Amino acid sequence: MNNRRHVLASIELEYRRYKALAEGTFEQLAEKDLVVRPTTDSLSVAMIVWHVAGNLESRFTDFLTSDGEKPWRDRESEFADRRVTRKEMLAKWDRGWAVLFGALAPLSDADLARKVQIRGVSASVAEALERSLAHTSYHVGQITFMGKMLRRGEWKYLSIPPGQSAAYNANPTMEKAGAKTAARRPTNATAKKGAKKGARKPAKKVAPKARPKAGKKGSR
């Protein structure tokens, strides 16, 4: 039996990366901000959470043995305007992610070729995970955009802040999936330090070694 999990572990870490980005946004928002809708056609952070969690719970409950679109899922209700508390929102969020990680835990790379069903359409486990990860990251992007829009100048960047690329290049802490969000924000001080650290020094010229004369010991 093949218990290798190189690919599965990488996929799981990517899920955790996006989960952390969303949660880094939640932490910066006041409870009233979680239900703000910029326009009548827009979604609030809480509505997006309801959709992401509902999707994960449906797709990964009995992942290998039942269709990913469960008969008990009410997808349309996920997009209904809702007034919820932070505690209620986080409970919904955590429930969806718990189902996902519970389904991934027993899988190995050998399971990636197995078949699952989504709305009656067959897909490999690998395809289903790629589709789910892309869907999740898309909506996490919406959440972080909403957070930045609501916080404006008080927004704390969860990725590389403007003007700090040189500092990040000198200390690329986000290249490994699953890195903690809190360690992702270089300060202005570290930016200056990193820029100096990353500067290249001119290479020293090395004088060529003298060749031994022919006939001397060691010449060949």
Counting residues of the chain whose pLDDT is more than 70, the rounded percentage is 79
Verify that 174 and 137 share a domain, yes or no. no
In this prediction, residue 192 carries a pLDDT of 40
Whether 198 has a pLDDT exceeding 90, the answer reads no
Which residue type is seen at 120? G
Each residue's pLDDT tens digit, 1-32: 568 999 999 999 999 999 999 999 999 999 99
Q: Residue 10 sits in which domain range?
A: 6-156
Verify that 82 and 176 share a domain, yes or no. no
Verify that 12 and 104 share a domain, yes or no. yes
Whole-angstrom Cα distance, residue 157 to residue 165?
A: 13
Q: How confident is the model at residue 176 (pLDDT cuts 50, 70, 90)?
A: low
In this prediction, residue 202 carries a pLDDT of 44
The pTM score is 0.77
Let me know if residue 220 belongs to a domain: no
More confident residue, 188 or 125: 125
Let me know if residue 97 belongs to a domain: yes
Verify that 48 and 147 share a domain, yes or no. yes
Under a CB-based contact definition with an 8 Å cutoff, are residues 119 and 67 in contact? Answer: yes
Q: Mean pLDDT for the chain?
A: 85
Query: What are the two backbone dihedrals, phi and then psi, of residue 19, each rounded to the nearest 5 degrees?
Result: -60, -45
Domain total in the chain:
2
* Contacting residues for 191 by C-beta, under 8 A, at least 6 apart: 163, 164, 166, 167
Under a CB-based contact definition with an 8 Å cutoff, are residues 18 and 140 in contact? Answer: yes
* Contacting residues for 197 by C-beta, under 8 A, at least 6 apart: 170
Whether 140 has a pLDDT exceeding 70, the answer reads yes
In this prediction, residue 144 carries a pLDDT of 96
Each residue's pLDDT tens digit, 71-122: 999 999 999 999 999 999 999 999 999 999 999 999 999 999 999 999 999 9
Under a CB-based contact definition with an 8 Å cutoff, are residues 177 and 14 in contact? Answer: yes
Check which CATH number belongs to the domain holding 118 and give it: 1.20.120.450
